[in-house]
Structure 1
Amino acid sequence: MNTRRIANLDVAPIGLGAMPLSIYERPDEAEAVRVIHAALDAGMTLIDTADIYCPGPDDLGHNERLIARALRERSSNERVLVATKGGLEHHRDGSFPFNAAPEHLERACEASLRALGVECIDLYQLHAPDPAVPFAESIGVLDKLRRAGKVRHIGLSNVSLRQLVEAEALVPVVSVQNCLSPHDREDFTCGVLAHCEARGIAYIAYGPVCGRLGKARIAANQPLCRVGERHGASPFQVALAWLLARSPVVIPIPGARRIRTALDSAAAMHLRLDAQDMAELNAAFPTP
């Protein structure tokens, strides 16, 4: 299996988006641990999480603690990269307002360290720029955390090309996590993905099969289904394989709350699309 790079770390080309294991309709914790183990057993070596992935504001860090438990209970010594995020809050009304103020990010990072049970976070990502906080201040505190040895690498999420370039002038940025899927293709043309390719920055694609609410669009898409039939693959696997084939820096992180979903996503790592497949899919999902 080919690998992809995040900084100096090799990871499997598809990672696990762990959010569904801690929000609405989540499985019980024992089953959630089994889902994580199944994903790792199938070859995934990247898990993406965040402090706000939790049932409610009284349980911040739920997803991080769940991942820590799953890794403790796993016998394999294979290196797993855990990427978490800070910069949003989780309110009781279900909203997730921005808060990328330096003091909040420092507290959030400390809480994530405790939840994950580690002394240094592999990849700490700014969840989103905060319009109320100068971007340079948010980036500056991430660099402070890195220099203090609490964060190994810095990533960004939900950023524009301008913000990415601004951050790069201040700190080493190793990853960008933005939305990318067959139906969300803006980053193919806005310059973010091209910049990541030119700079060797990993592009972590969230929502690669359009998330819980959009999965029906993938399942019903005729080009995805036709290509899948030729390969004995699901339309979700084809969508993931198409993203992988579009760029060498893309690492999709599909979510899963069931073992079968995690295994279906992992199988896409072994699906090779040919020129006919790519021509058909590129025509169905043209660059905007």
Structure 2
Amino acid sequence: MQHPHPRRSLAGVPVGSIGLGAMPLSIEHRPDESRAVATVHAALDAGVTLIDTADSYHWHAGEAGHNERLIARALARYGGDTSGVLIATKGGRGRPGDGSWTVTGTPDHLKRAARASAARLGVEAIGLYQLHKPDPSVPWAESVGALRELRDAGTIRAAGISNVTTAQIREAHEILGDGLASVQNRYSPAVRDSEPQLRLSAELGLAFLPWSPLGGISRSSLDGPSGPTSTGTAFHTVAAERGVSPQQIALAWLLARSPAVIPLPGASRPASITDSARAAGLVLTEEELTRLSEPLFPQEG
């Protein structure tokens, strides 16, 4: 693996400042296994050392953990050193196979799910285990308490939370202390409503992991065709001036938001993650950042 670019800290581990969102490799319209493995290997070759997965990243009923097993196989087949790779997985969501997503945040479920994830990944302890989404039917403190138990038991090394409010971050931080390492919320040029969570994460020393970070720039395979995309934004203009892809500009903009940010662009082709990883070495000027600060889709009326 190459490390040509600045690194950031996650759970006390230095990682490349761009991660890989592995979800597109296992859900609907996923590539065949050879291309999926090649995508993971291309990420490693490009200096990516954070791979984001979940037990619910699969397509059909009965194949829970598809993405975790795929990542484990890809790492096993990689010719280079993978000792510096941090695999972050998540539990608390399910996919019955009809396209829907469920949420289950009971402590018993989360503890069973984490043990099953560790077995699929072939690790003694999961580097970063994240609660995928709060379960409205379970008190938040109980779900987070399960993460603390998993850490105390050595099943996981660090915990994270995803799709959360600032109040939930504060409560989780009180329960987990330095065991809480990350917050993973949706954040992109098109969707910026997690600014308060980003600020709080930075304040508390937590990594902030934007999912679907290319929203509005390209149709993110993490999220499907939800919401408008554009070709005439400031991101496209700056990209044309720089001679790079708009996706690289979007990721460089996210990195400039805070040293806490480690974006997780999805990819299902080697070329996509190779391009995204180049954003790690792209430093935007203050003038460019000012142009990119405008809302991507101004409100009408």
TM-score (normalised: structure 2): 0.91
Aligned AA (1:54): H
Query: Which position in structure 2 is the counterpart of 1:173?
Result: 180
What SS is found at the alignment partner of 1:138?
helix
- Equivalent AA in structure 2 for residue 185 of structure 1: R
1:240 aligns with 2:251: yes
Aligned residues: 286
Is 1:88 equivalent to 2:93 in the alignment? yes
- For 2:140, give the aligned amino acid: F
Deviation for aligned residue 1:75: 2.2
Aligned counterpart, 2:146: 141
More helix per residue = 1
CA distance in structure 1 between the partners assigned to 2:298 and 2:278 by the alignment: 26
Tell me what 1:228 maps to.
239
- 8 Å contact from structure 2 (residues 233, 296) kept in 1: no
Aligned 8 A contact 1:218 1:235 in 2:
no
* Structure 1 residue 285: Cα displacement: 4.7
Give the aligned residue type for 1:144: E
Change (3 A) 1:287 1:240: farther
Which residue does the alignment assign to 1:48?
A: 52
| Residue 226 of structure 1, CA deviation | 1.2
Distance 1:282 1:133 in 2: 38
Q: How does 1:23-42 map to 2 (within 5 A)?
A: 23-42=27-46
Contact 2:59/2:95 (<8 A) preserved: no
Alignment partner for residue 63 of structure 2, among 43, 52, 59? 59
How far is 1:249 from its partner? Answer: 0.5
Residue type at the aligned position of 1:104: H
- Equivalence for 1:276: 287
Call closer, same or farther: CA 1:161–1:287 in 2, change over 3 Å.
Answer: farther
Asked whether the 8 Å contact 2:190–2:295 carries over to 1, the reply is no
Q: 1:265 aligned to 2:272?
A: no
Structure 1: unaligned runs, 5 residues or longer = none
Q: Mind listing any 5+ residue stretches in structure 2 that lack a counterpart? A: none
Q: Distance in 2 between matches of 1:181 and 1:115?
A: 31
Whole-Å separation in 1 of the counterparts to 2:101 and 2:85: 28
| Corresponding residue to 2:130 among 116, 120, 125 | 125
One-letter identity of the residue aligned with 1:75? G
The CA deviation at 1:97 is: 1.2
Q: CA RMSD in A?
A: 1.8
Give the % identical residues: 47
How far apart in 2 are the matches of 1:123 and 1:8? 11
Task: Calculate the TM-score normalised by the size of structure 1.
Answer: 0.95
State whether residues 218 and 224 of structure 1, in contact with CA within 8 Å, keep that contact through their aligned partners in structure 2: no
